Amino acid sequence: SSSSSSSSSSSPPMACRASNAVACGVASGRGSCGGGGGSIGLHRRPLAGRTRARGFAVLAHHWAGGPSQGASGSVDGQRKRVCVLLHGILGSKSNWNTPARRLLTQIGPLGWRILQLDHRAHGQSPAGEAPHTMEACAADVLETLLAAGVEPERDELVVCGHSFGGKVALAVLRSLLESGTPPPRTTWLFDSMPGRPAPRSTEEERAEQSVSFVLGVVEAAASPGLYADRSALVDALASEHGLAKPLAQWVAQGVKPSACGGGVRLGYDVGAVRAMYDSYQATDMWQVLEAGTADIGIVVAGRNRHAWGDENLSRLDALRDRRVQTAVLEGAGHNVHVDDLPGLLKVVEPSFV
């Protein structure tokens, strides 16, 4: 899951920090001065979000178009139609602001609403308690849906995830299937590999400014603790750690004032984020696709084929008769929602009709 070179202030290489939110349980308390797997079960089990103890209430979330666009209405007096958007690692729900507005103009008249979430330890959501796994992230999503008035057993869902968020979407699907809950209409993965990415050298990761490389830089930059100001952090990220200037500026958007007065620090809980990313890398979800029990769509970024590797792409081709559809956006890098938003919306639109 490598990052693309294209960026913008609203949708940078992997996402900017959240701008506003409806609600999250408690403050994360992140930082101080200085500083999965498994197969689909054949038995029914309770929906994860209803039973799991947690260290916070729900994820920070936002209804595209404002609170009035929330899931209070229904299409037939009972069922609601909700599209859930899940961002990538180091991103936030504001990643989706522009795509959500565009999509809402198309599907809003059909009764659909769009919910954007911050994963744990991202945006305005607290880190919560370990373990920070795909299963835990899926439980976060399901509990937040329930808190927002969305019932997966009753309502119609389309769940879309970019990169890390795509595998969380598959984990949500797996949890629903294991509990005997009807799956979403479609679960969409945007340049997100169900299994493990193709191996690449450290030099390739650095040259591509991949997600793995950027996360390593964030960890290294967080260890000194305080920086004089945001500009000093940008300079350190670029000159000392090798980030391209646009990426350095984007990462530095996540700064927070020091609790000790004077200076700024990176706002990420890097331990939690690293655990989440390691779980993403290690978790194999191919069995969810191969089961053929739900409709799944996968969008491959044409300019990011090398990150998939021939084995993953061949495995995708073999699933065309298993309720898995694949689309390739040839001109797009990893951030398909930035590089080819019209093409992406055209691909997903039939899921809402």
**Average pLDDT for 201-210:** 88
pTM, 2 dp: 0.82
Residue 209: phi, psi to the nearest 5?
A: 50, 50
Asked if the peptide bond before residue 131 counts as cis, ω within 30 degrees of 0, the response is yes
Helix (H, G, I), strand (E, B) or coil at 326: strand
| 282 pLDDT above the threshold of 70 | yes
Residue 331: CB atoms within 10 A of its CB come to 11
Phi-psi sector, 39: left (phi>0), alpha (psi -120 to 50), beta: beta
Tokens for 121, please give them: 């330890």
**Residue 305, SS3 per DSSP:** helix
Identify the H or E element spanning 343.
Answer: helix 341-348
Q: Which of 37-46, 104-113, 123-132, 231-240 is least confident?
A: 37-46
In whole angstroms, what is the distance from residue 11 CA to residue 341 CA?
11
pLDDT above 70 for 33:
no
CA distances in angstroms from 11 to 106, 107, 114, listed in the order given: 20, 22, 18
**Mean pLDDT for the stretch of residues 17-30:** 30
Structure tokens at 316: 């995708």
Q: What is the mean pLDDT of residues 193-208?
A: 88
Q: What is the biggest distance separating any 2 CA atoms in the chain, rounded to whole angstroms? A: 60
Position 76 scores a pLDDT of 56
What's the CA gap between 330 and 23, in Å, rounded?
Answer: 38
Q: pLDDT band for 39, please (50, 70, 90 cuts).
A: very low
Tokens of 254: 């996540």
Average pLDDT, the chain: 84
pLDDT confidence bin for 183, thresholds 50/70/90: very high
Distance CA 264, CA 33 (A): 10
Confidence check: pLDDT of 101 > 80 = yes
pLDDT of residue 46: 55
Assess whether pLDDT exceeds 90 at residue 53.
no
With a pLDDT cut of 90, the percent of the chain lying above it is: 65
pLDDT tops 50 at residue 34: no
Which band of pLDDT confidence, cut at 50, 70 and 90, is reported for residue 193? Answer: very high
Cα 292 to its chain centre, rounded Å, is 23
The amino acid at 256: K
Write the CB contacts of 78 (distance below 8 Å, at least 6 apart in sequence). Answer: 154
The residues, ordered by sequence, that sit 6+ positions from 127 with a Cβ below 8 Å of its Cβ are 28, 30, 55, 120, 121, 269, 272
Secondary structure element (H or E) that encloses residue 186, with its range: strand 186-190
> Cβ of 269: how many Cβ atoms within 10 Å?
22
Angstrom distance (rounded) from CA 163 to CA 15? 11
Whether residue 331 has pLDDT greater than 90 = yes
